[in-house]
Each structure stands twice: as structure tokens, then as C-alpha cells.
Structure 1
Amino acid sequence: MTSKRLNPWFEAGEWDYVKGLVLTRDIKALDFFQVWSSRCVRMPTGVETTISLLQASRDMNNELGLSMSINRFLNHVSHIGMNTWGVSKLHEAAEKLKVPGWIVDIRHETTHGHMPSHTILRAGFEVCWSWICTNYWQNKAVTEPRPGGWRSLEAELAGMLECFMYLKVYHIWGTVHVKDIEETHEDVYSHILSLWSNILGYKLKNVGNLNNITVKQAQGVVRAEILNLDIETEVLARVLVNEDLLVPEQSFLETLQGEEEEDNVEIPPDLVLVWKEFIEKIDERRGARILIDNLVERIGREDVEESSKEFAAAWVVEISEGLLGHSKTLKLNKVHGTDISHLESWISEPSRLVQMMLPCFCNLAGVSKKKEAQLDLLLSAALGEDISPNSKDAKEVYTIEDLGLSIPTENANKGWKRENGWGDQLTKTFRNQTWNSLWLPESTEWLPSKQEQDESDYEEIPDFESEKVVWPGEEEFTEPGTLSAFYRVQKKPSSSPRRKKMKKL
């Protein structure tokens, strides 16, 4: 049985031509990438990362553009690390993928508002470019999928669940036939058709044309295929959280939310109905607490956008309400077995969202209100917030005129306070000093101009050659040109290396 995969390139010859442009760093490749994006719903991740790097190469003097392309590349690295080895720390993912640690430091520096030198940014760019060329573009297996069903169990599950999500939403909305979706949302219909063909088509030959069946029938078929997979509960939970499923793409979320804007982020009721069955199944087999574990881990990841983290936190609240028996939709086991050890694990990496979820965590662990208040103060201290008794009053804004006002006794700890010990220090003059003393002597040596610095930077940057990454299970395929586990369609093993290495939660 041979699995199928739709590529955005028309044929291998087109791929080879574009690869030649990429390897010579020719920006003409961007024109081809624009055409490729019109042929598919989602570009391959290796191509998307290349686009970001190639766009930055247009102006190698643009430090902001270089840093953004490096950060985009590291997002790619982090995503590979999570999907291939299950590691959430960027340094761990970089180590496994043979990316130097100082490249990760570039991300940390730019994130905290300190732009590295131009030399470091140029060198970092060259390392990222060498890596993507070595581990993606110079691999023949990108264009030559091999027979034998190289389909990762998690990738197969993620595709099925995504297809189920779209069909379930339209079923909730009252859409009768699949062909009706095309009339209202052509782009969504094309995506559903692509998922159906690529992931389910080779299994469902007897189902017939997708357009000839109802949305309910199609949803039932996909649901049956998901349940027939020999999937572990931990894997199902991880895929639901880490893929665009519990937290779909922003455009899809906006469709579910409608036009109403609210200050508080809440999970759309339709989305809760979509995943109700699978959440309750996870709760029945393993306990829904495992979903909270994965959601908290996602919130702590650096490569996840803030909006996605907020929706992940909203899911924690929703699932917690189900475990506490307060949810009208999710019927979960109230005997969930959460204790102090789980609470400690969830708040081990403090953040604004973790502090927001603290009441849910404490209710699940059975912690008293007094202890919860102490933990809240502890998180505030860890986040660097002012927790002094007068911290709220101290937030009042004062003007320069307040410096000359006398402070009443009852407000002695509020705002500005007069200091009377300066005397005439602020207006004191110094003898034998004139304005001429501020000028530098004629013998002062000036630093070279920025242009001269940039030219010298270029000369100091060496050529980097990235090592080929050794992927899990690669020893099974010894012939040259084997595509990495992240980019190819994998053979479904009886016991995959990833499942063996999976941490028990």
C-alpha cells in the first residue's frame, strides 16, 4: 500500500530548478514560492523557513530582518524538537538538531531587547541557512516519497482529527451535504478535500466521492478511522494540544467566536462540542488531567504566540470546571486524583497566565484559600511584581510640580517624598573648570564609521557547514538521501522510538 502526498511543485524538475536557485541564494526563488503557495493550503515547513531566510538575505545590513529570520528558523527547530523527540526546551531541541547553542542565545537576546552585534547576526544567519540547505534542500527524499506507508502515527492522527474538526463544526452548524460547504466556504472545502484525499483516501476507497455523502456520514467515517487507530491516550492528548486542534488557527477561531469582542478569552461553545467526545474518552482511560499537563507545557513554550497561550489557558479553565463538576458540557470524573505534586508541577514555571490559572489548580488540588493567597504572593514575587502593602497606592502618577509640595503626614508613604539633606549641592560650582574642558583632546582616536565596521564584519564571517541530523529510526533506512523524520511520511512501526521515549505523566 502506497501513501499519497500532494506537493506544491509540479514535478521533480521544477523542484530541482528551484533548489538550484535556493542553494545559490537567488531571490528569484521567491517568485516560485509565491506560485507554490497558490497550489496548496499550507506550504511545507522547510519551504516556509527558507522563504523567511531568503527574504532577509535581500538586505544583509538590516539587523532587524536578520534577527527575525533567525527567530523564525528557531521556531522551526522548536517545532521539530517537540514533534520528533517531545522536548519543549529550545536549547534541548537545538542540541538534538545540531544547531549551535549561541544561535539560541541570539533569540534570547533579541527577545529581551538587546540586539546582538551585526557580526553575530550575520554569522547566525549563515548557520541557519547552512542547516536548512543541508537537512532539507539537499535531500532527495523530499521529492521522492517511498512506498510502504511512511506515515507517522501522530501525523496521521493529527490529519484525521483536523478533518473531523471541520466536519463536526459544519455538522453543528446544520450543514447537510459536504458539497454545500463549497458554496459558502470554498477555501475550507478545498482543505477538507485535501485532508480526506491525503490521509483517508487510500483507506476509504469504498466510501465513494466525498461530494455524494452527507456531512454527518463523512464525520462518522473519520471518527471510526480515528477510533480504529492503535493510539495511546498520551499520544492523543499530546496531538490535541500541540497541533492546531484544541487551539485552531486564528482565522478559524474568529469564525467560531463571531463578531462579539470580549475582554476575557473563552473557548467557543461549538469548539467544546467538537472535542467533547475525545476529551471524555481521554478522561475515561487516563484522566483529563493529562490534558492540563500538556496545556501548561504549551503555555511555557517560547515558540507559541501569546494569543495561543491565552486560549490554552482558557482550555485549562474549561477542563478544570469539568473535573470539578461545574461544566454544563464536559462530564468528567470528579475523582481526578490531583494533589500537591501536580500543583507544584503546574506552577514550577511562573508566568502571567499561570498566575491566572492558580485558582483552578488550587481547587483541583484541594488547597485552602489561605494557602492559595500565599501561593499567589509567591508567584507575584517570582514575576517581579511589587507586593508591598502600599504597592497599589504607589502606582499613582505624580508630576514634577509635586516635588515642591509638602506631603501631609497621613500620606507620608504615598508618592513623592521631600528630601531636605541636599543643601546647595545641586547648584554648587567647581573651580578651574570651563566649557572647554568638555571637549576631547586632538589626540583622541575615533572608531571607524558604521559602514567600515560592516565591511570588516563581512570579512570576519567564516563559511559554516552544518552536520546532517541523525533522526529517530533513521538506522532502519540506510540508503543515502533518506528524508528526515520531520519532513517525510514515516513507516508506521509496531513500537515507534518516539513512543518508547515518551515520558510517563
Structure 2
Amino acid sequence: MALSMRQEGIKQVPWFSLAEWHQVYKQVYSNNVNEQNKGYEMLLVWQARIPKLPVGVDCTLAIMQVCARDREWTPKINNGELPISYENDLCLMYSTTIMRLLNHISNIGHTKQTSLFQIAKQLNIPEWIVNLRHDTAHGHELPSIGVLRIAINILLVWLHKQYWAVEEAKRMEEYLIKKSVKEVQETEEVQDFDDLIELWTSVSLYIHAGYHLVLNVPDLQLKETLQDLRSYAISLLKENSEDMENDIDNYIETANDDIKKDKKYTLETARIVLLSEISRFLNKKSIPGKKDIVCNTLLSSEVFLPSKNMLAIFSKNTENELEKNVLPLDMVEFWKDIIFLLCEKDFMEVLIVKLLELVNNNEVSEEKKLLASLWISSISYSFLKLDIAHSICRTLEYHLEKMQKKLPSKAFELKVKEEVDHIYPHLKCVLWFNLSDTVLSCLTDIKFISKLILNINEFSLKFIVPILELLSSKIDNKSKQLLLNLMNVSIMVPLDKNDINSIECEKIFTLSDLKDDEYLVDTNKVEDEILHFLADKKIRNNYWNFAVATHNWAESPIGLLPWQNDGLEFVNPLNMIVQKYDVSVLDSEILPGIIDMKNVKIHGRINWNNVLRKKKRLKRKQDRRNRNIIMNKALETLKKQK
């Protein structure tokens, strides 16, 4: 019969969290005396918070108290620092603790027997411990200190089995169930967004293939899904839902008009309604890790990072465009509404970080790395265009204010866009963000960009140019070209001497440059001179390279430096003494409050069927397969027309 606080009817608990309860439990049943003392101190804190502790905690506190006192006094009694009478005091404390514990447990649960011996038998407490209590209350002498220590350790084990382990199992079950429910909810949220993206992608693919009406779509399952979506949108309009109308003002008006006027249901209308639903999802604040969910879903899409065969959907000259380090314009146009949404809802920084992680992941294919780097480039150029637009916007505002003129917001933005396209024609095909948007802080942060440069690979050069332009601390063209040249050298990319955009700059010298230069250097002589810098003139392995005399060895990693001899002295590690008792000590001596946990069994009571919820997960997997079938049909239809 467990000493559960639920059986005791106690609603208040003295611990602030499950983590605190679990920590105290581990400390109380630790063989480390220091840890046990910390557990005892925390039990005292619990008693200060709530004087009427749960029975299991109260009994544990009493045992910890007498054991701590025993461990403190016994060494001093043995050394003669305390009189022998202190041992009798310990016997009194042990006897009182055992008596109180048995009195406590005889008053809980459904123990209605009048005899304490019968209660102890029902609760699996040894009969001789009940006799100790009887001798304490009615005998002429107290039991010996050794017997009392054995009894108190047995009762500590009994408390572990009947209170701490049971409560631990219950709390663990509650935690796992809550965690499972949370994971199921998160999985459902991920699946919902995944379904929305796949439906939106499928509809957009049919539009790209030339289909206009939902009625003409060859996929019956998609038609039924879109009809359900239309019914859902109509129900929202009838309820005068403001949520849907406030999500995407520039998109939803047309869709609402089509739905209200009962026109023929077009794919464009369905696409806009799906876009509004995606926006509603992005607005939800109750979804943990929402930004990661959205970006991971996008990066796993077959159309956002397509294979070579899939790229043919967007362009016939895909290879030429990729060689020029640009994404196909049709592909950027296809995804622009989603990109605008992510920018509006503050998801772009997470998307860029995710794309960078993909570029630096060695397990990802070269094709995906290239596409990810080009997406970073496309997005960075869009923010560069926005940064230029902001600059032109300020200038135009100044001139209009000086002339005492005022333009409507749409006309003003159109004027700024025309000015940007005129001055920077190479940015004309780049996505145009709203003037109200802001440039991502990470793309202007010198620390973030420095990390990009220090961790470059062959794909970094695809997107680093627009990012360098966005730096808050502007650098001149000459320094910028030097930096790009250095990046080319560091990733072993040959410099393009015919590049008309490159400017004259100092050459970056390498060993091959020295040999090819008109001022030839005798490298053998240089190596002989460097060899004199070694202390013992010994090359220890083939991986060492000769360093120049001006090399700063103070910045080298810790290890054997070239001028050092082999005889190095090392500092021996400190020997730390930890008060922890091994099994042999536990078997041979009686230590108060120290028990052998290998003999203590914990029986969990977790219902794993309730935790795993297998049936619901199988249903979600079936829904997922249906969504995949819809998008695959859309892709096949589009491929046939190409």
C-alpha cells in the first residue's frame, strides 16, 4: 500500500516542480553523503513551506535527520571527542523515529486492524521491527545501536518501495502522457501545415500547367478536397469571420468576391484561399517551434528544392541558368507569394539559417546544396533591392517635402520601384518586397557575416556578394574584391582573369605564385634556413610543414611545437576524494542512511498503450499518403505537358 499523497488527501505540495521533487529523491537515495545532506536540507525547506508534509516525505525527513546526526557523532565518540553517553542519545533518537514511523503508517489507507502486528504484516514490514517499537515503549532497555541502524535502513528501503518509487512511476507516467499528447499535437500541427503547403503546391502546379477551373482538374481526390475548402471558406464568410479577411488583404478580396458571387470556382481562387489558410497558421501563437516547423516543411518540398528532372518544369535552359548562379525565374515566381508571407510574418531569418545548415551539411547532395545556396542568393538580392529602395525612398520623400507635394502610398511605391529598376537594371527580375518591410538584421551584422566567411565552402560564393553589399559597415570595392579573391583561393577556385567585373588589385601570393613569378626564389635555400629554427633539427612526421621565421607560434594549438624537444613534462591530475561507498563497504558495515540500491527494485505502472496512441498515428500516416498522391499526380500531369 503506497504512501501516496493522493491517498492522504493532501492537495498542496511543498515542491515547486517535478524536477525539484525528482532531484530530492535522487539525493536522498544517493550513496554520496554530501548529496544526502543536500537532500536532507531540501526536505527541511519543504517542511518550512508546508508544515504538514505527506506521510512518506515526513517519515523520510525523520530518518534523514537521525542518520545525519549518527554520521556526525559516531566518529567523534570513537575518537573520544564526545562522551559515550551520546550513543544512548542516538538510540533514543532512532527509537523515537521508528515509533513515529510505525504510528504514521498505521493511520493511513484502509488498515482497519487493531493490532499493529497485523498492520505490519499487511504492509510487508518485518515483525521484529514492530517488536523494537514495543521494547522502546514498554521495555527496561533500549535496543542496541547496531540493531537500530539495521532497522532504520530497512525502513528507508521500505519507504523507497512504497512511496518514492510509486510516486516516481506516477509522475513519470504523467510526464510521458503529457509529452506524448504534446508530441501528437505538434505532429498534427506539422501535418496540417504540410498538407496546406502540398495542396497549395498542387493547385499552383495545375495553374502552371494551364488549368483554369477546379472542375477541369483530372485528379478527382483533389477536386473533392478543393470543394470542401470552398465550403469551409463560405462558412467563414457567413459567420463574418474577421480572421480570414485580415490575414492577406491584397489576396483575399478577389477570392471573397468570387465565392460570394457564386462564380465558377477557379484554381486561382482555391490557391488564394489556401494562401490565406497558410497565413492563419503562421499567425498562431500556441504552436511551439512554429518557425522550425514551417521552414523544415518548405525545405522538404520536392518543388522548393527540386531534382534536375523536376527543374525542367520551370525552365528548359535550367543548366545554363544554374551555371550563371541564378534560380529559374519561373521557379522564383512560383514561390513568391510564400516568400512574401514568410517575410511579412518574420520567418525569413530562420529560413536563411536552415538553408545555410543545408549548404554546410555533408550528407546532402550537391544538387540540393546548390539550390539552397541560390535561394539564399535570391533572397539576399531581394533584401539588397529593398535596402536600395529605402535609400531612394528617403531621397524622394525629401524632394516631395521640399516641393510641398504628396503622393498616394501606392503611387509613391510605384515611383520608387521605377527608380530602382532604372538605376539598377540587373535587379529588375529580383523579388520586390513591400517598402514597409525591413532588411534582416542578420544580413547586416558583421559578426554573422564574419562567421559565414570563416566557414566558407564552394557554395558560399553563390550568395556572399549581395550579403557583402548589405553590410552595415560598408567596405570599398577594392577591399571587397580582395576578400572575394581570398575566398576563391581558400576553397581552391581558380581566379577568372578575364572577368570584366574584377578590378586591378594586389596579387595574393601562394607557393605556386612564387615559382611562376619573374622574381624566382630558391625554395631549397629557404627550407634550409627554416630548418635552423628547429631545436633538435628533427622532423617528427610527414605532416609537418616548414614555417616561416615570422610565424606567430603563440597562436598555435597546444601541442609539440617544432622547436621543442621530445622530453615534455606533464602535470599530474589532481586526486579528488569523493565520499561514495562501494558495494563491498555496504555489505560489510552498517552505515546509517546508506543502502545498496542494486537490491532495491522499482516496479513501474505505466500504460504504454495510452502513451503511444498508435491508432491515431496510423490515421495521420494514411492522410499523409493521400496528400502525397495528390501532389504526385499534379507533377505527373505537368511533366506530360512539358
TM, length-normalised to structure 2: 0.34
Structure with higher Rg: it is 2
Which protein is richer in helix relative to its size?
2
